[in-house]
Amino acid sequence: HVGVVLVADGSPSASDLSDALRGRPALVVIDGVDRLSQAERDQLSARLRDADGTAVVLTTTAPEAALGILHDARRAAVPPIDIDTTATRVTADDTTDSTEVTA
């Protein structure tokens, strides 16, 4: 199964993180980690450290926030994927030249 936490303007509760990691999910997605306080980032890192075998996807507008969490969780260093949401999207009906294609 997949665990998901959406960090909106308010911070997720500890139970949100626990629920997402309950049952050893194959994948956990945490959206908006840049909105977490440092204490919440520390707690998340500790929980991810204990979630051995679970793949992790973190979204952020500040890559250093996600990289810090992954480092503190003793996860392998990975390069961030920068997705520019302002890029022109190309559809099957569009002939606009772009480097990004939505399939």
pLDDT tens-digit readout, 40-99:
899 999 999 999 899 999 999 999 999 999 999 999 888 888 887 665 555 555 554 444
Residue 19 sits at φ, ψ, to 5 deg, of -60, -40
Can you point out the beta strands (E) in the chain?
2-6, 27-31, 55-59
Mean pLDDT, residues 14-33: 88
pLDDT value of residue 102:
46
Q: pLDDT higher for 96 or 11?
A: 11
Claim: this prediction has a pTM higher than 0.85: no
